[in-house]
A = this chain, B = another copy of it.
Amino acid sequence: MNPIDPLQKLEQFSKHWHPHQIATVNEMQVLLAKVKGEFVWHQHDEEDELFQVVKGTLYIQFEDRTVEVNQGEIIVVPRGVKHCPMTKNDEEVHIMLFEKLSVKHTGDTQNSLTVDDYPKI
């Protein structure tokens, strides 16, 4: 029951697209990630996913459009919706994710970016 400072936690790692778990709440977890460039197209069949932008501007590509999510804003990607997060202009963006404990961040896509066990910090 101690306060958690996401900015201080973000200083503890640098690898892109590699979420770190900073808290759990009910059956969900809070993850921090530093992202840059383009992720992979994927979907989560059974889970919604919430993104909160801590620093920078995140773009989420959907099949029919791309949505810009600015610092401080949140967006919920509903289950079953194919998406691919990205950043522009070589910007490193910091995000906080709220998702089920069971979720793989690459959803139905398994590739070299897939992290099987999120480090806890």
Give the B-binding residues of A (Cβ under 8 A).
1-7, 22-28, 30, 47-50, 60, 62, 67-70, 72-78, 81, 98-100
Contact = CB atoms under 8 A, between A and B. Distances in A.
Within the oligomer, what is the number of copies of this chain? 2
Contacts of A100: 26
A1 B76 contact: yes
B73 A4 contact: yes
Contacts of A68: 3
Contact of A73 (B3, B78, B98): B3
Contacts of A81: 1
Given A25-B50, A27-B27, A75 B7 contact: no
A25 B75 contact: no
